[in-house]
Amino acid sequence: MATSRCPKCESGTFEATPLSVRGGNKPTAIQCANCGAIVGLLPDTGEVAKVIASSIQKTIADALKKTGK
Ligand SMILES: [Zn+2]
């Protein structure tokens, strides 16, 4: 497997750091530990959990409708 490298300084060490974004989301940035260049983003885990929870609720509600309860 190829080694991940920073496109700016070619360092192979990265770190996850929380970002502060206007609007209230708190995504996590994957950035180069050497120069800080952002190479990836993870979504706000709180937001992801909310989306998953509402999706599960909808699935259960739909299943209950189908069984007529
Ligand atoms: Zn770098």
* Tokens standing for residue 9: 């300084």
Cα-to-centroid distance, 37 and ligand 1 (Å): 5
pLDDT in tens for each of the 69 residues of the chain?
999 999 999 999 999 998 888 887 788 999 999 999 999 998 887 777 888 899 999 999 999 998 876
pTM above 0.85, yes or no: no
How far apart CA 26 and CA 50 sit, in angstroms, is 14
- Looking at residue 69, its pLDDT comes to 64
Q: Are the beta carbons of 16 and 30 closer than 8 angstroms?
A: yes
Cα-to-centroid distance, 16 and ligand 1 (Å): 13
Cα-to-centroid distance, 2 and ligand 1 (Å): 17
